[in-house]
Amino acid sequence: MPELPEVETTRRGIAPALEQQKITAVIVRNKKLRWIVPIEISRDLAGQTVQKVQRRGKYLLLACDTGTVIIHLGMSGSLRILSVAIAANKHDHVDLIFGKQCLRFNDPRRFGCVLWTQKDALLHPLLKNLGPEPLSTAFSGSYLFRCANKRHVPIKNFLMDSSIVVGVGNIYANEALFIAGIHPQQAAGSISLAQFQCLAKTIKEVLRAAIKQGGTTLRNFSNSDGKPGYFKQKLNVYGRGGLACLTCKTILEEIRLGQRSTVYCPQCQILTL
């Protein structure tokens, strides 16, 4: 599933093919995504130029002449740059046509979205309440410490709350907590400033490393096989429940936290009072 590193990889992959290019047409084969693809998108976008391809959290923003296309890949979405001559496959729901090329949105589970707004995109209801970017200086241990004050929510849920910080999905929440040595069920408000500083640093490192790896597969995804830059991250805990901790050999435990698979080492990540 696309996490922030993949969305950023996608952004870097499609930006060169789209920026300063004119949209000649829009094809919507299935408008029933997470939200209905607005009918106006076809009429409004034709003739507009994509000025810039940006990212906010896991949202991709195509800044055009009079508005912004807001795209989310959801669980299973991907974007590819293709020749318009290539026939659409199953789950190819939306094409933005640029002459002979197109940006094709494919999403089997349809948890993603393709929206269009002519207002300030950052004030859009989906974007206006987002927390800071994890790779920005605004995101720090002291920031997390302040946000967590008096909150009893498990730290893992807290990290995955997009109003606290964007882009930290299930995989990296698990991984970062393991590396920082914090139990996923630890109440957010009970974590020390020092621990949060470690955690913030860890999150940045893990995301940066993943983006770097996404970059290595960047070449593939925009032309041939259609796999979005899917980094084969070496994961410490995610997907390893019941296996030995790579640090101490203790069997990793797997629990459900907020409907999400949560894996941790009961030895390396001790729950404290």
Distances (CA, A) of 47 to 39, 59, 104, 119, 125: 16, 23, 18, 18, 26
Q: Does 260 participate in catalysis according to the annotation?
A: yes
Interacting residues of 234 by C-beta distance below 8 A, sequence separation 6+ = none
Part of the chain binding DNA (CB under 7 A), chosen from 19-27, 81-89, 94-102, 156-164: 156-164
Catalytic residue check, 3: yes
DSSP 8-class letter at 21? P
CB 215 within 8 A of CB 221: no
Measured in degrees and rounded to the nearest 5, phi and psi for residue 72 equal: -125, 135
Q: Which of 110, 253, 260, 266 is catalytic?
A: 260
Length of the chain: 273
Sole window of 62-70, 198-206, 207-215, 252-260 interacting with DNA (rule: CB under 7 A): 252-260
**Does residue 232 bind DNA (CB under 7 A)?**
no
Structure tokens at 6: 């993949």
Please tell me whether residue 152 binds DNA under the rule CB under 7 A.
Answer: yes
38 is an interface residue for DNA by CB under 7 A: no
Q: How far apart are CA 215 and CA 31, in angstroms?
A: 31
Rank residues 23 and 237 by Cβ distance to DNA and give the closer one: 237
Exactly one of 122, 227, 258, 272 binds DNA (CB under 7 A); that residue is: 258
CA distance 172 to 3: 8
Question: What is the phi/psi pair of residue 152, to 5°?
Answer: -100, 0
Phi/psi of residue 179, each to 5°?
-65, -35
175 is catalytic: no
Q: Which two structure tokens, joined as six digits, stand for 140?
A: 């720090």
The one catalytic residue in 3, 6, 8, 175 is: 3
> Is residue 229 classed as helix, strand or coil in its secondary structure?
coil
Pick out residues in 51-90 that bind DNA (CB under 7 A). Answer: 57-58, 72, 74-76, 90
What gap in Å lies between CA 69 and CA 59, rounded to an integer? 10
For DNA, which is the closer residue by CB, 67 or 112?
Answer: 112
Q: How far is the CB of 91 from DNA (least distance, A)?
A: 6
**Per annotation, catalytic residue among 11, 34, 55, 58:** 58
When the beta carbons of 13 and 74 are compared against DNA, the nearer one is 74
Contact between 22 and DNA (CB under 7 A)? no
The minimum distance between CB 99 and DNA, in angstroms, equals 30
Rounded to 5 degrees, φ, ψ at 13 are -75, -40
Query: Which residue number, 95 or 107, has a Cβ lying nearer to DNA?
Result: 107
Contact between 31 and DNA by CB under 7 A: the answer reads no
Task: Report the site for DNA in 171-230 (rule: CB under 7 A).
Answer: 171
71/135 Cα distance (integer angstroms): 21
Q: Which is closer to DNA, CB of 100 or CB of 256?
A: 256
Binding site for DNA (CB under 7 A): 1-3, 32, 34, 57-58, 72, 74-76, 90-91, 108-111, 125-126, 151-154, 157, 160, 162, 167, 169-171, 258-261
